[in-house]
Structure 1
Amino acid sequence: MKPGCICYVTDRNYLFITLVSAMQARAQVASSRADVLLLAIDDGPEIDTYRRICDREGIVFLNVAARAEAVLKDALGDIYRTGFAGRISAATLVRLVISDFVTGDYGRMLYIDGDTQINGSLDILLQRDLPAGRFLAARDYTSVMRSAGFAVPDRFSPNFQRLGVPEARRNYYFNAGVIVSDFEDWKTIGRNALAYFADSGGTLQFHDQDALNGACWEQHLPLSNRWNFPRQFLHLRARLSYQPEIVHFMANPKPWHGVLPPWGKKEYGAYREVIDRYPELAGDIPTLSPARFQAYRLKSTYYDLRDRLQVRRNGRIAAILDEQFLDVPHRAADRPPTSATPRLVTQP
């Protein structure tokens, strides 16, 4: 048995982006400690190119296109056939059933979204003791804001009543972009979440993330945002006791679009460096139209300046981000209250 695996799941649109993060992850953990696996759910002529590059970079490339469709159709039935067109990426759900496609014998699984950058060693996530049946995930952006005492617009806020998440746990609604679990435990955790998604009729607002929070909050233990750092808070890095090890670039714009606050040349350059190394991938980097790029530049500059000037707000948010859940024993207040198995609350 190998101690661990670091898993990525991507569709064709994010294949290049995910490769960059996977290459960074490979550089941050010894091959004796973990395999880095990239699961591609779409087939196409570019697959051989990515397989060759992954082989060169020490990344295990798995083309699971045919199998992924079969697994999701079996689990979701009509939801898969009618509910995915342009609305839900199958990659978001395949992460729930990674063990259906990975045949290796692993102790620990670290799942990472492709729109991330890895800045430091991942060893602590692969080595830390984890209670049986539990998994680690960091607060979502909305939970950080809520924990700091700020309102979250309804369109960004989960429907906690529908998910059946108790009041005491709502500030711990977690982001599904980085998950740490024992590999065997994830077989049950992920399947329970997929069944929950199916029971919802595919109508959950935040898809697999809502499904995991609704079905599995009792198994969840908080992880420091050091390991899943929302890019909206990059301007607060100097206020923290740590530097983010994994930055998650949620929402548009993205760092591969260009140098746009709050990130700089380093974050943008990570994608250009891979293009310089593998010029055959140059056409795969997602781009924006010039007009949209300039609109994002103005918007990003405004929000970055505004956020930097909000001193009191910044202090409250930084205090939440600075909580080191991974580095200390979990406090009693952080443990989910005992209750019956969570279930989806039927909407009237």
Structure 2
Amino acid sequence: MLQISRQKDTMSVADLFLFTTDLNDEDFRTITDLVTDHGITTIKLDLDKVLSEQESLSFRETHISISTLGRFFTGPCIDPKYENILYIDGDVQVVGSIFDLANADIPDGKMLGAIDRHFLKAKEHDKSGEKTREYLKKLGVSHESDYFNAGILAAKRETWINLCKEGFDYFVNHSKDCMFHDQSALNAVCVGRRLPMSPKYNFTTMFAENNFVNTVRPSIIHFTGAEKPWFSKARPWQGRFIASYVELLKQFPQLEAFYSLKQYFHSSGQAGLSRIDRHANRMWLLTRILTPWRVILRRRRLMNYLKTTRFFI
């Protein structure tokens, strides 16, 4: 959010809202005091209260926190004077201008989103590919290019509110089919209502793994997967962004009071995180040693997608 706040053109057409989930009053005030001077407004969501009312929910255990469901409830918290909502996950780095994205005039009833890893996996002839095809079929997604990543999304405010309500209702009724939680639910309810967004504004790890940095020239890098930029030294980024989080803690030492990142920089808490990196690097090498043709096919498929797709933005 600080990276966005320094973009004068973007800030001329947008305001920044930081949503938190289930912080106590003291911690929420700490965050609010830190960001107010940077033009950021904080909004507190009581997610535990909302979810506790839904006894039948199933939430698949992964590296993804249950707080990801919070996006379903953000819309009504935004003043009606705002016409559009641009939603951005926290596991990103904003490395270029997002003015065009923030200023986009998206049609009513449409959601803007970029393709996800399933675009590649659905065409591959292995167990993972078969599982991916079954997953998309359950959601009603007929073509893998229609499935989108939920990390960066944009829509008219009323459209956002309506689709998020539909998405949460879908998740409540089909949570076991929602392998990727809110992302699954949003894909199910947005069939036919999603507009393709360039990976320039949601440059997921999939694109980095296939060497598209220079081709796409991303503005928002999104670290999908368990290898997060504040600790990971795994490929493809190999720790490039860790220093920025160290500097952030130096700038705002108050952050350590309620979510210490020391474990990411000291050996005492490094064991689990190192396992994540080792697994990621191992999979990187195995793909290239055991199935080198897959690397070529994936890159070719992505290149064709970029050349033939008419992106809304």
Q: Same fold (TM over 0.5)?
A: yes
1:270 matches 2:244: yes
Identity %: 26
CA contact (8 A) 1:64 1:101 kept: no
- The amino acid across from 2:144 in the alignment is R
- The amino acid across from 2:10 in the alignment is A
1:78 matches 2:58: no
- The amino acid across from 1:38 in the alignment is L
Flag the 1:238–1:155 CA change in 2: closer, same or farther, 3 A.
closer
- The amino acid across from 2:33 in the alignment is R
Which stretch has the larger CA shift, 201-210 or 281-290? 281-290
1:211 matches 2:185: yes
Provide the rounded CA distance (Å) in 2 between the counterparts of 1:105 and 1:326. 37
Query: Structure 1 residue 174: deviation in Å?
Result: 1.1
**Residue 221 of structure 1, aligned match among 191, 195, 199:** 195
CA contact (8 A) 1:256 1:286 kept: no
Flag the 1:278–1:55 CA change in 2: closer, same or farther, 3 A.
same
Determine the structure 2 residue equivalent to 1:245. Answer: 219
State the TM-score, normalized to the length of structure 2.
Answer: 0.81
| CA deviation string 1:195-242 (max 9, x = no partner) | 111222565222111111112212112222222222244243456522
- The amino acid across from 2:222 in the alignment is H
Residues 267-346 of structure 1 correspond to what in structure 2 (within 5 A)? 267-282=241-256, 284-285=260-261, 287=263, 289-305=269-285, 312-322=293-303, 323-324=305-306, 328=310
Query: Structure 1 residue 157: deviation in Å?
Result: 6.2
Determine the structure 2 residue equivalent to 1:146. Answer: 122
RMSD between superposed Cα atoms in Å:
3.2
State the TM-score, normalized to the length of structure 1.
Answer: 0.74
Where structure 2 has 5 or more consecutive residues not aligned to the other structure, the ranges are none
1:119 matches 2:89: no
Match of 2:122, SS?
helix
Number of matched pairs:
300
Match of 1:79, SS?
coil
Provide the rounded CA distance (Å) in 2 between the counterparts of 1:319 and 1:228. 19
| CA deviation string 1:258-300 (max 9, x = no partner) | 4332214531122112112112324532735333344444444
Match of 2:105, SS?
coil
Flag the 1:258–1:140 CA change in 2: closer, same or farther, 3 A.
closer
- The amino acid across from 2:235 in the alignment is P
Determine the structure 1 residue equivalent to 2:44. Answer: 63
CA contact (8 A) 2:112 2:154 kept: yes
Match of 1:176, SS?
strand
Match of 2:74, SS?
helix
Flag the 1:57–1:316 CA change in 2: closer, same or farther, 3 A.
farther
Determine the structure 1 residue equivalent to 2:174. Answer: 200
